[in-house]
Structure 1
Amino acid sequence: MKSKLSFLLLSLLFYHYSSNAQSAPGFKELLDSAMVRDADLRTQLTKNKLTELDEHKLKDVYLPTLEVSGMAGYMNATAHIISPELNLQPFLNIPEGKYNNNINVSGFSGLAKADAKMLLYSGGKVQYLRKAIGEKKKSETVLLEKSSDEVVAMISRAYDQLALVHQSKKVLDEGKRRLEANRKTADKALGYGLITPYDHKKIELAQATLDAKIAEYEGKKDLLLTQLEVLTGISKDRLELIQPVLVAVVPEAPHKSIEDRAEIRALDYGINASGYKIKAEQTWWIPKVQLMASGYYLGLYGTRIKSSDNIIPPIPAIGYPGRKLDWRPTNLNVFPIFLGGVGFKWEIFDGREGKHAIETARIDRELLENQKYDARRKLTLNQANNKSNYEIANSQIALKRKQKEMAGDALVTAEKEFRYGMTKSTQLIEAENDLEAAELDYQNAIFNQRRAAIEMMRSTQELDITKLY
């Protein structure tokens, strides 16, 4: 019983996964997969990590730092002394200040040091830089919206192109069906001598031409499926199950303006960031305060301290021969040497480096303001152009629909006349080609209208995929 239950569960799981594997992906799934795989978005997100790292650096600037260093080596130092070490002038008749001697210290030395520092006050520079980075992060987030819209437009175009191919295939299949029916009529008419073999060959040529067009569209379909597979990572087996249909888009009236575009908002944040950068640079003259502490260890090993001449001169009166200094201590250690306190640094004159940094920051802000001015002009023209293209595309749909209806009526008339021997196959084929071209032009008009509608929504940063699919 247990084994049967396990088999049933495995069967259900297999059915679940196989059914998912064979289901056609919706546009939302295509878009989500493309967002994850898009190289530009991933690159931009990776670059944004550098800004986050800069933010963490500023947060850590008030953390204490500890540095430990050490040194070991051989020391040999000699000091030349011209001074009466001992005041023996009354006894030895030595002129004052004329006592000469060399004191030599040699041996192995060791030094260890630990320094600790902590910034207490930066003059306000860190606070302004933190605000500048905050504005920069907002700018980068806004630019991600622009990149996301570009991915939406790219996937939407590929998806609609696939729909256009499907609709074109239906048009060609319908034309092939009509030509097959008309060929049967032509076969009968040729048998009765109502048409010439040349007219009959015309229909065969039209069929061959139509087959070539169908093969061409199959190649386009395979190319589009490959493109979607590369962009989304979804297998062709699932993508082939998509049966999209082209429908005209009716976007709502815009509720936003050019100022809501990602480019303008990103530049606004950039200008704010440059303003904080100027304030940060203006703090160059304010004193900086930090807490400092140091600990030292000094050791001398195998040391010898000696003098070149007598440290105590000879005294003939009492028969004293004099004495040189020759001291061999086992080791000398000085520990701990501790220093601690609060220090400040005040750059009263820095060679105008601070002023140059302020001017550089001001120029950067001026450049951003010029970019915003230029972007606003271009985006205004772009919005007007997109609105005009959308209106033209809408009018083209009505025109192409009327042409398709007229071509359909003309083909019905030509088929009747050909069936009763009132016209030649040339006129029938021309009517068939006209209807095929009119139907394809109508589908292209819908495709172009969708592109124009998407660009018009993007012009005010109001692209909504729920209005598209």
Structure 2
Amino acid sequence: MNKAIRLLILLFVFTSSLGSGLYAQHLSEELQLLITEAKAKNSSIKINHLNMEQASIETKTARNTLLPKIYLSGSYTRLNDDIVFDDDTQNLLVGTQKLLIKEAIGVPFNAPFPAGIPLTDIPPLQKKNILKSAVDVDWTLFSGFQVSNAIKASKHKHKSLEIANKLEEDQVVLKTIDLYDKLGLAIKSEEVIKSMTQYLEKQDKFVSSAINNGLATPIDRQKLSLAKQKLATKKLEAQNQQKLVIAVLQQYTGAAPEFLDNLRPDLLPFAIDETMESKKRNEINALEEAELATSFKSKMERNNFIPKIALKGHYEFIEDDLSLLEPKWYVGVGTKWNIFDGFVSKLKSDQTKIEGLKYREQINETEELIQLGITMAQLSLQSAKETSLMTQLEVDLAESNYELTNKQYKNGLTTVSEVLDALTEVEKAKFDLQKSYYNQRKAGIELLYAKGLLTF
């Protein structure tokens, strides 16, 4: 490819833009699949989901505080004897019964009680065999705004955990892309070595012919053999690096080894517009939600002084075993007003307010660190772009130098050592170019993450 055309292509890649950020559709399908599987396998994300479920249950628990609570109960009790009135009271009740009968049949007050008229036994206050079955209802009608504030606090806590989970997912995305690119770099390194091996094979044929014609010495062949051995060693290192990265990817994503073995990542840099505006980072959103949660929790604790209103009801299913003093059912409404609790509620509220102030300080500090991170990422990306341009020029120069040196060697104007040195420079420059692509992709991803534009 013409040198000028290469530079134009690189400049086009570096100056084009993805718009407002890097989205899933800008990545290869295989990389998207790896990211999805890595998220599904990540233990921290799973734990965050469980924490979110707990927060949801807390919200439901707070909301259900205002629902009536219904209890069924049953019991059997046997006393040593019936509970009855004392003798004097029983005699009084019997005498009263006689007077009422006399009055009913027209017998004078002072006359003796007529014989043969039965009297009703005085029932005991409580029989000794007691069988009970009842239903009770407790219903909080007004909680003094504690329930509403508890619901709001738990909702914001859930939102904070949800955003924190997105932060964990972003870290998974960053690591998966980096591992994917490292695999691409290892594969490209092996490809560079293979191309260098082909150069050496051609050079070996020429040297063998030159030796036969007395134009080269066996030492030249030995030098070529040593160069081949060095390349073989580097090729083995590149293959081992591939195996290691694949092993890490398999452990991190859970993807099938067959799928990972067939990956061929492309290291072309992402096209990124450095002037695009930043979005509010999830770190800030999570802290703000946590701050709101503490605010409503503080209100809930402070509202402990507001009167609470509740309803209570009771109904007995078995009436026969009730004592003479027990009702069959009752319903009541009552209030509870905490006038003074030793400043406990106020101190709890003040403690929660301080927690909210701590979150505010974390927000301010995080905003400063994010801005610093954006600046550092922009500088890294600019440096990586310049390095890629410079390295491409080095590749062109090294290839031109090799071609010239090779021609000189074939014309007997230089040695095979200089040819091998020139070939080594080509190898180094090509590898450095692939590494510069890797560094540029990494710097671009870090800038998008710093600006809150890494969206998946």
TM-score after normalising by structure 1? 0.77
Q: What is the SS of the residue equivalent to 2:303? A: coil
Query: Are 1:365 and 2:385 an aligned pair?
Result: no
Q: Aligned partners of 2:139 and 2:312: how far apart in 1?
A: 7
In structure 1, how many angstroms separate the alpha carbons of the residues matched to 2:127 and 2:252? 75
Among 172, 178, 183, which residue is 1:157 paired with? 178
Say if 1:104 and 1:233 are closer, same or farther in 2 by CA, change over 3 A: closer
Residue 28 of structure 1 is matched in structure 2 by: 32
Report what 2:381 is aligned to: 390
State the AA in 2 paired with 1:424.
T
Q: Identify the match of residue 217 of structure 2 among 188, 192, 196.
A: 196
Q: Tell me, in whole angstroms, the C-alpha distance in 2 between the residues paired with 1:354 and 1:223.
A: 58
Identity %: 23
1:55 maps to which of 44, 59, 63: 59
Determine whether 1:222 maps to 2:243: yes
Measured in 2, the distance between the counterparts of 1:74 and 1:210 equals 97
1:45 and 2:45 equivalent? no
Q: In the TM superposition, what whole-angstrom CA distance separates every residue of 1:307-363 from its partner, at most 9, and x where no partner exists?
A: xxxxxxxxxxxxxxxxxxxxxxxx978775322111111111112221121112111
CA pair 263-412 structure 1, distance change in 2 beyond 3 A: same
1:350 and 1:112 map into 2 onto residues whose CA distance is 38
Aligned with residue 283 of structure 2, among 256, 263, 267: 263
**CA contact under 8 A between 1:25 and 1:238: conserved in structure 2?**
no
Larger strand fraction of residues: 1
Alignment pair present for 1:177 and 2:198: yes
Partner SS, residue 405 of structure 1: helix
Give the ranges of 4+ consecutive aligned residues of structure 1 lying more than 6 Å apart after TM superposition: 81-87, 103-106, 297-301, 331-335
Instruction: Classify 1:82/1:111 alpha carbon distance in 2 versus 1 (closer, same or farther; 3 Å).
Output: closer
Assess if the C-alpha contact under 8 Å between 1:25 and 1:242 holds in 2.
no
1:52-451 mapped onto 2 (5 Å cutoff): 52-76=56-80, 107-257=128-278, 260-296=280-316, 337-451=328-442
1:106: Cα distance to partner? 9.2
Deviates more, 1:119-128 or 1:25-34: 25-34
Greater helix fraction, Structure 1 or Structure 2: 2
Structure showing greater relative contact order (alpha-carbon pairs closer than 8 Å, 6 or more residues apart): 2
Instruction: After TM superposition, give the deviation of residue 379 of structure 1 in Å.
Output: 1.5
- Return the letter of the residue paired with 2:306: I
Inter-partner Cα distance in structure 2 for 1:56 and 1:206: 72
CA distance in 1, matches of 2:276, 2:423: 46
Contact 1:256–1:462 (Cα < 8 Å) also in 2: no
Q: In 2, Cα distance between the equivalents of 1:461 and 1:266?
A: 13
Distance of aligned partners of 1:83 and 1:51 in 2 relative to their CA distance in 1, 3 Å threshold = same
Deviation at 1:33, TM superposition (A): 2.5
CA contact (8 A) 1:110 1:299 kept: no
Q: 1:133: Cα distance to partner?
A: 2.0
Q: Secondary structure at the match of 2:268?
A: coil
3-state SS, counterpart of residue 305 of structure 2:
coil
In structure 2, give the amino acid aligned to 1:252. D
Code of the aligned partner of 1:241:
N
Given that 2:82 and 2:126 are in contact with CA atoms closer than 8 Å, whether structure 1 keeps it comes out as yes
1:20-75 CA-partner distances (Å, limit 9, x unpaired): xxxx9622222222222222222211211001111111221121112233443443
In the alignment of these two chains, the number of paired residues is: 398
Q: TM-score when scaled to structure 2? A: 0.79
Check conservation: 1:55, 1:130, Cα contact below 8 A: yes
1:452 aligns with 2:443: yes
Assess, with a 3 A threshold, how the Cα gap between structure 1 residues 82 and 53 changes in structure 2: closer, same or farther.
closer
Partner-residue secondary structure (3-state), 1:283 = helix
When residues 284 and 464 of structure 1 are mapped into structure 2, their CA distance, relative to the original with a 3 A threshold, is closer
1:176 is displaced (CA, Å) by: 0.1
2:448–2:454 CA contact under 8 A, matched in 1: yes
Q: Provide the C-alpha distance between the structure 1 equivalents of 2:125 and 2:243, rounded to a whole number of angstroms.
A: 92
TM superposition shift of 1:223: 2.2
Give 3-state SS (helix, strand or coil) of 1:219's partner. Answer: helix
Secondary structure class of the residue paired with 2:271 = coil
Distance in 2, matches of 1:295 and 1:204, equals 101
Match of 2:115 in 1: none
Deviations 1:208-241 (A, max 9, x none): 1111111221122222223333333332323333
